[in-house]
Amino acid sequence: MKILRILVLAPLLLSFVAAAKKPQVSVRFHAEANARDGEPFAMPIKFQNPARDGFVERVPSISERDIKAVYPVPATDGTFGCAFQLDQHGRIGLQTLSTQRRGASLVVFVNTKSGMHQVIDMIIDKPITDGIVYIPRGLTQLEIAALQKKFRTMGAAAKRK
């Protein structure tokens, strides 16, 4: 009888886990890839800086899981920029990426309830060792609000849970 209960309850519990609430915002940093890497590892993209067709890695180098804090700032074009402070894992990943992939592009995608868009692509010009990556422009007010809801703001006191 107990085995029957377990067999009935296990799929029910798994369905609750699968139906868990999705994150309000996701931020993904994808490094430029080589076209010869193939479809499973690279996806096509239109770069903005400089304008050209190319490829980025399918798996992001840095994601929202690596972000510890944010610091949004208004940009001159009416959008927002944001500094992302990374945790230890993200800092090491960014340092490795920025050292090994100099001259390549880093493309930022943000996904909220209103959809996903390519925010900006930036050329990696020097190693970044402090764990802070800065996006100078391209984020919307809705995206900034979602980021501030999910992450603490740099310089603000840590929230108590």
Indicate whether 22 pLDDT > 80: no
- Report d(CA 141, CA 158) in Å as an integer: 23
Q: Label residue 45 by pLDDT band (50, 70, 90).
A: very high
- Report d(CA 146, CA 34) in Å as an integer: 33
In order of start, what are the domains of the chain with their CATH numbers?
23-153 (3.30.1360.200)
Q: Decide which of 46 and 24 is more confident.
A: 46
Contact by Cβ (8 Å): 27, 11: no
- Report d(CA 130, CA 157) in Å as an integer: 20
Q: Is 96 helix (H, G, I), strand (E, B) or coil?
A: helix
Residue 66 DSSP class: G
Please state which of the ranges 14-23, 60-69, 90-99, 103-112 shows the lowest mean pLDDT.
14-23
The closest alpha carbon to 83, from 148, 26, 23, belongs to: 148
